[in-house]
Structure 1
Amino acid sequence: MSIPSNPLPVNAKSRIESINDEVKDLHPVLGRLFRAMGYQAVEYTHGPTEQGADFVLTDFDQRLRVTKYIGVIAKTGKILGSTIDIENQIVQCASRRFIESGKKEIRISSIIVVTSKSISHNAERSIHEKYATQNVEFIDRDRLTELINDYVPEFWHDIPSDLGEYLTYIRVKNENNDRSLSISNNQNVEYIQQDIVRHDESFYNSKNRHIKNRREVVNLEEEIIENRFIFIEGNVGSGKSKLLRRMVDHFSNTEVYKEKNVIPIFLTFRELFDNYECDTEKVIDTVLKNVKRDLDISKKKVVIFIDGFDEKILDYDTRSEVLDKIRQSTEYGRIHIVMTSRYLFTSAATPNALKIATRYEISPLSMKQLIKYLEKLCESFNIHGRLLEDIKKSHLMRDIPRSPIAAIILAQLIQQTGQDLPSNLTELYAKYIELTLGRWDMQKGMRSQKEYEIVENILMEFATQSIDNEIQSITPTALRDLISNYCSSRQLGISEGEIYNLIKERGDIIVINESVGEVIFKHRSFAEFLYAKYKIRNQEYTVDNRAFNVYWSNIHFFSFGILKDAPIQLRKLYEIPTSDDSERFLKSLYISDYLMAAYQTPYDVISEGVELAAQIYGELYSDISDGKSPLLNNLPKMVVLYIFQLLFRNNYSYDYLKKALDSAGTNIAAKNPDFAAYSLFFLDTALVEENREGNFQMLMDACGTTVPIDLALAVRHETKDNKVTYEGVKKNNKRIQRILKDKSASTSLAKLYDIPMSKLVSGIKRR
């Protein structure tokens, strides 16, 4: 997000020149302008104790890493021959002064003289000659007009001043956050436009055809206006926070406000929960307090963007209650909610509030999009030729998540090291964090290794506090305290101040914003990786049922990835009892991620995990079908079956797991439990995804003509458009075709598609 090039209104210069009252008219617009220009602090000092400066601006020089203070002298008259008044103020500006309500003593290092009229060349030259040792800049009417047009274009529009200032404030804050939280330091790389798709389920239907999953791409700006409650889900690093910042940037634009009458508010879910008790009216009253002084916002739409619904440890019932409370706030039409989250709820456990919400997903990048984005990144990082081709052909490209964060980290890693490609996502994070924390700074030799270890240890402490205590950020003072506590019991040979500066300098994974008093990881996944590494290094990692909770699941993923060879931990995972059917279902989903992460584990342990997952899927579906479990009993049987097979297929269709899928099928068929047919069906769907020639061979070999009717129907749906070569599938499909010709039987089977299982008195299981 950059400063837009706005066309200059016809009467812009004359409007600036018409400003004649310094205090009532010029000072307010200058305050808005300086805040929009991104100064760390803008302090209004006009008055009897101003010491020559109407404003004091605090500016942090990133290159020199020093803070500078600028005095502003504001005038509404022409500055021509006589400059005595201005000269007196320049002299006064040289005095030491206190800012921040007397808390801080500073000295002004440069001065800006600004007027709404003209400044003569002679006046500028005279002042520069008299005060040659001082840095004095001039802003006349023309330059002031251009700056206002670039930074606060809402000034030209008929918008109440408090609202205009709020829109400027939220836009600038949003841009600063976007800049500071960006992992790519190259601002020339364009934002990659990901597809936002409607969360529509595809199901088997009674018309004997398999509805394809239509991924309807939507225009999110339009959807926000049309829908009151929007819930957007995406994987780790898929760009959820970035997407919301783009939306805030859009809706804080003055032209958009004039057209749509929408006022945006942005906050995290943690802030909403901890500070406002999830009361959206409290949010509006607090955030828009000044706006409400001269504007009746009851007639305006207020869009509240809420980021990170998953970043709070809550049980299922509490999450459901919170969602319902938020949803209720949208019933009267004025408030619109847009909320993001990692994938929290399977179809088996969706709260009622989300069933009413409009749900969307951020689609993973297609392989074509990922490669195109990588090419742009590599071009900007001067990575060319064969190395880029090697990246495209590597196993890593097939294994890493197709997300912007993975592409950015990979490109920066290759650009800065030229080392071999990492083998998986965990190794990608490990190498990137080592790089950004300075482990491979060859110029410093052994000192670099020492500095790296100290910085990493402190950041692991911060990550642990952040995750365990659900703290998104700490203050710079708290970071200094953390450093002090770490150093107090160690002889490191490096001062606490040096360590603080090292962390500040190596800011690719962490942001230290001293002006707002905040230290924060640029992305939650960096904290999750460091947390996992800390626990494993200190032999504190334990496998428990938190592995089936979204708040902790990525930490367990990184933990298994760091271990790589984890037979003991995986078997402990398999043995963990689950508290209810929802957790049982989540266990079977998450196992696949952990198997892929711990890829150096003996393969017989991997096979045990796949077999366990297939058993859970089969047994749970059988329980739901027989009325033993309340999960999804408000849906028709064939809908539930479709959901189950889709999730198993998506989670277990990996080339690495092929042999495990086969052996799981053999073992389950030999044991022949009551749910064996269902487990074999799910295993077969994963193998179908891998283009195995004998589609549904395990199911057909084990059951033959005794295949349960719901599975027989599903096999026909799955193979209807394919060239079937396996005789068992051919016989199954012919059998179903014969049954469907019987009108009575066809009517009975239609109930499996149309009537919720809770209302289905007696379904047909076999025929």
Structure 2
Amino acid sequence: MIEQTEISQRARVLSKRRRRDVLMSFEEKELHEHLRILLDKMEPDGVVEITHGPQEYGKDLVLVREDQFGRTIIGIIVGTGDIRGKTLGKVDKIISQVQQAFAHPAKLKAILESLTISEVWIMLAGELSGNARKRLKGELNGKSIKTFDMNWLIDSFTRNYPQVFFEGKLIDFLQEKIQKFEKKHLFSKRGKNLSECFVEPLVNTIDMPAQFDEEELASTIRTIIKRRRMPFLQLNLVLRPGKKIILGGDPGTGKSVALAKLAIDNWRKASELVIRGISKKQQVEVPILVSTKEILESGDSEVLRKEYFSNAELLDRFKVNLLAVDGLDEALPNQQKNILEKAEEFSKQLGCALIISTRKVDIIKTLSSRFERYELLSFDFGRALKLFQKLLTDKKILDTLKDGLRRVEFQIPMVPLSLLLLVELVESHKEVPASVTELYERFSDLMLGRWDKDKGIEVLFEYFIKQRFLAELAFKEFLQKERLEITRKELEGFLNEYSSRYGWREENLRGFVEEIRRSGILNTKEKVTFQHRSFLDYFAASYIHGKSEQFENLNDVIVRIYFDDTWGDVAFFYTGLKREIDNSVLEKIFAFEGKHLATLVDKLAVGRLLQAGWHSPVATKHFGIENAIAFAPTIREELLRVAEKSKVPIPKIYADLVVLVLSDFSFSSGFLVKEAKDVFDRLLSKRPQCSPYMQMLSLLWAIQRLLKPQEIRIMIDGVLESLSKTSDLEEQARTFLLLRALEQRDKATTKMIERRLHKLGKKYPHVFKALLPPIRKGLRRRRQSRRR
């Protein structure tokens, strides 16, 4: 962010005459507003108001100071323009204003009673001649008066409010936005700005730009299968009017934080342009960052723009270059289509780019050629360590985190939220939990004060009482009533009923509310929400787990929740709290009615429940993986059918790559790697004529980063040997393409796959044309031109 000191330094670069001319150029009312802001900054504990109309009685502004010695009421009179011999009438006016100011009490909006003026300040935005100065002093002698001249104004504005020299309202707006999002983030409790602890994640394209060129098959295939990976902030380079992006990521990946940092960087760039004066003859381009709720509540883009920029001057000076909408997955399913359509229409009306964030699974379930899809990736070990180093200075804790993270690297999601919870736990208890649910469990214990008494902290309520309250609140007021926020009044009603049920006195209730607020798990402002959506899901799951005996047909309840687009993660946390999953639940999931793409995707994603239920028997894991991966070919065919029906032109290989991404989401875990490899071997042992290559490749894709290079080589060799015995050319072509897409660490294997791929492509180009679309018109000519 452009710091206040930096703006002050830039103001000092301007000549004093230039700064004087700026101040003298303001109309009287405009100068009053700038002086109000200046005094607010110089007197942060005081009250400053502009007085207008017949009741002002000479006072342009009033400043109220309060300290241990009492209250001082200061009337401020503002004079503009030079006061010389020919303009001595201005002296008469000032003298009259001073006399009126002392004679009549001040009436302010912020203070009910009338205020007697004890002191008058005269501020002159101009030069005061010797004669004028002498007359003021003589006629106002004996009154408590101070005079502040142009030099004082220039110096004071330069130190405290230098924005006034650079289109102050614009810079104030931009800095207000920057400050808001610098403070509103996951790590704010640690007293750091977002920019201080931001570690830039990588993004992957979900869309695969596939094209076929017989003459350069190998390089073309590399282009097709290599997903573009880039630092997140480089998305700035591709944003332009009309560009529409859906940004997906697992829960806790930091989608909100990433969008905030993208907006901050754009606001900072706009501030630079304003300060340098580059933007005076043109509109300043800035982003709008809003929630899905704000999109829903805005009638049209003009309403949204007016509410965002708040006044006409800002509306005229700013042009929106990006509409960023955060949290599509946090809206109810029946609202999401409306939000998408409204956001698209708004971005079209504003003539800007559009980014919408949501869960990764949502962007795969939604086929739309109108959006480019990007996935926000989890951190690798190096980025996780960098985040720890930005958050901590204690070397012992850093070493504990580093060692612990190596042990659980493939068991806990490497996402900012999980890593932050990990930091909190290690700081308090010097231990690393074994799974993501255990991480949330330990963190909630910490935040709700399980160990506060051991530390000598006074608590009125045991942690488990607070945990049970939050669990019941999450389940009964949020999940059961299908909503993601409630009003303060609804929370108070729930609190009163809950406290009455357990016989609390009013003082107990007040203490309980304070301890809940202090925990930081609930936001209890005008609208009540859980601090992060994952906390809501965890506590709702905790209620079901703790009251399991009260649910009839509990397994059916869990299965229904699992397939619910809004509450699916509750089933994940419930399974994690149990540490295991029953075969009967898996059977009900696989038998669940519905052949829609979303339902099939959820069945393939059962691996996440197996990850949560990490202590399940090996046979249960085998059963779950084998049945889940069997949906891979069905999903591929359904993707192609839906695409054709929706008239969304996608190459066949695209559907395969989407299945690989889903498989990675489901099975990529240290808890499942052995069992996934066992299922791979079982599939490989089938006869070549019916070998399920799609399933095998999906499992290999999911666990490749957990395997040694030699293990990957053996598995690939097995697939290739089986493939050599099949006569299905399209199956061969597809399998070679997908094998080449694996992130190979064995150069010999990679070269061998490329040779066989090239040979097959030369011999049967029509097969590849069926999988991949033709090369774009004109591209071949450009390539040939480059070769010449």
Q: TM-score, normalised by structure 2?
A: 0.73
Cα distance in 2 for residues equivalent to 1:548 and 1:478: 28
The residue that corresponds to 1:261 in the other structure is 284
The residue that corresponds to 1:638 in the other structure is 653
Mean Cα displacement is larger for which, 192-201 or 584-593?
A: 192-201
The residue that corresponds to 1:155 in the other structure is 164
Cα distance in 2 for residues equivalent to 1:558 and 1:485: 27
SS at match of 2:414: coil
1:406 paired residue among 396, 399, 418: 418
TM-superposed deviation, 1:600: 1.3
1:490 is matched by which residue type in structure 2?
Y
Cα distance in 2 for residues equivalent to 1:24 and 1:723: 70
Is 1:430 aligned to residue 441 of structure 2? yes
1:456 paired residue among 467, 477, 482: 467
The residue that corresponds to 2:536 in the other structure is 527
Is 1:337 aligned to residue 354 of structure 2? yes
Decide whether the 8 Å contact of 1:532 with 1:556 is kept in 2. Answer: yes
SS at match of 2:558: coil
Instruction: Provide closer, same or farther for how the CA distance between residues 453 and 226 of structure 1 changes in structure 2, counting only shifts above 3 A.
Output: same
TM-superposed deviation, 1:596: 0.8
1:484 is matched by which residue type in structure 2?
N
TM-superposed deviation, 1:92: 6.6
TM-superposed deviation, 1:602: 1.9
Alignment of 1:113-512 (within 5 A): 116=123, 154-157=163-166, 159=167, 165=169, 168-169=172-173, 171-172=175-176, 175-176=179-180, 178-188=182-192, 190-195=196-201, 197=203, 199=205, 201-202=207-208, 207-208=217-218, 209-210=221-222, 211-217=225-231, 219-225=234-240, 228-252=243-267, 253-256=270-273, 259=279, 261-273=284-296, 275-276=297-298, 279-288=300-309, 290-291=311-312, 296=316, 300-301=319-320, 303-314=322-333, 319-320=336-337, 322-331=339-348, 334-347=351-364, 349-354=366-371, 358-379=372-393, 383-384=396-397, 386-395=399-408, 397-415=409-427, 417-442=428-453, 448=459, 450-464=461-475, 465-466=477-478, 476=488, 478-492=490-504, 494-507=507-520, 509-512=521-524
The CA deviation string for residues 251-304 of structure 1, in whole angstroms up to 9 with x for no partner, is 44533465462244332112212x125x32332244446326x8657x934533
Cα distance in 2 for residues equivalent to 1:69 and 1:506: 38
1:394 is matched by which residue type in structure 2?
R
Cα distance in 2 for residues equivalent to 1:340 and 1:69: 51
Q: Equivalent pairs: percent with the same residue?
A: 18
The residue that corresponds to 2:771 in the other structure is 752
SS at match of 1:566: coil
Structure 1 unaligned segments of length 5 or more: list them: 60-67, 121-129, 132-136, 757-767
The residue that corresponds to 2:89 in the other structure is none
The CA deviation string for residues 338-391 of structure 1, in whole angstroms up to 9 with x for no partner, is 32222244556422332xxx4444333231121122123221x56447534433
Is 1:547 aligned to residue 562 of structure 2? yes
2:302 is matched by which residue type in structure 1?
E
Instruction: Provide closer, same or farther for how the CA distance between residues 711 and 105 of structure 1 changes in structure 2, counting only shifts above 3 A.
Output: farther
The residue that corresponds to 1:571 in the other structure is 586
Decide whether the 8 Å contact of 1:429 with 1:529 is kept in 2. Answer: yes
Cα distance in 2 for residues equivalent to 1:382 and 1:638: 48
Instruction: Provide closer, same or farther for how the CA distance between residues 153 and 422 of structure 1 changes in structure 2, counting only shifts above 3 A.
Output: farther
The residue that corresponds to 1:536 in the other structure is 545
Cα distance in 2 for residues equivalent to 1:41 and 1:225: 45
1:409 is matched by which residue type in structure 2?
L
SS at match of 1:710: helix
1:428 is matched by which residue type in structure 2?
L
Alignment of 1:48-67 (within 5 A): none
Cα distance in 2 for residues equivalent to 1:248 and 1:184: 17
TM-superposed deviation, 1:564: 1.3
SS at match of 1:656: coil
2:357 is matched by which residue type in structure 1?
T
TM-superposed deviation, 1:613: 1.6
TM-superposed deviation, 1:437: 2.3
Is 1:580 aligned to residue 595 of structure 2? yes
Decide whether the 8 Å contact of 1:595 with 1:606 is kept in 2. Answer: yes
Cα distance in 2 for residues equivalent to 1:58 and 1:428: 50
Instruction: Provide closer, same or farther for how the CA distance between residues 580 and 488 of structure 1 changes in structure 2, counting only shifts above 3 A.
Output: same
Cα distance in 2 for residues equivalent to 1:272 and 1:335: 15
TM-superposed deviation, 1:615: 0.6
Is 1:676 aligned to residue 697 of structure 2? no
1:76 is matched by which residue type in structure 2?
V
1:559 is matched by which residue type in structure 2?
Y
Cα distance in 1 for residues equivalent to 2:565 and 2:745: 37
Decide whether the 8 Å contact of 2:292 with 2:339 is kept in 1. Answer: no
1:284 is matched by which residue type in structure 2?
R
The CA deviation string for residues 443-482 of structure 1, in whole angstroms up to 9 with x for no partner, is 5879737253444344445544355657665555554444
Decide whether the 8 Å contact of 2:379 with 2:415 is kept in 1. Answer: yes
Decide whether the 8 Å contact of 2:392 with 2:398 is kept in 1. Answer: no
SS at match of 2:343: helix
Alignment of 1:646-725 (within 5 A): 646-649=661-664, 651-665=666-680, 676-686=692-702, 688-689=704-705, 690-691=707-708, 692=711, 693-696=713-716, 699=719, 705-706=725-726, 708-717=728-737
Decide whether the 8 Å contact of 1:196 with 1:360 is kept in 2. Answer: no
Cα distance in 2 for residues equivalent to 1:499 and 1:91: 50
Instruction: Provide closer, same or farther for how the CA distance between residues 272 and 661 of structure 1 changes in structure 2, counting only shifts above 3 A.
Output: same
The CA deviation string for residues 422-444 of structure 1, in whole angstroms up to 9 with x for no partner, is 11222222222221222211258
Paired residues in the alignment total 703
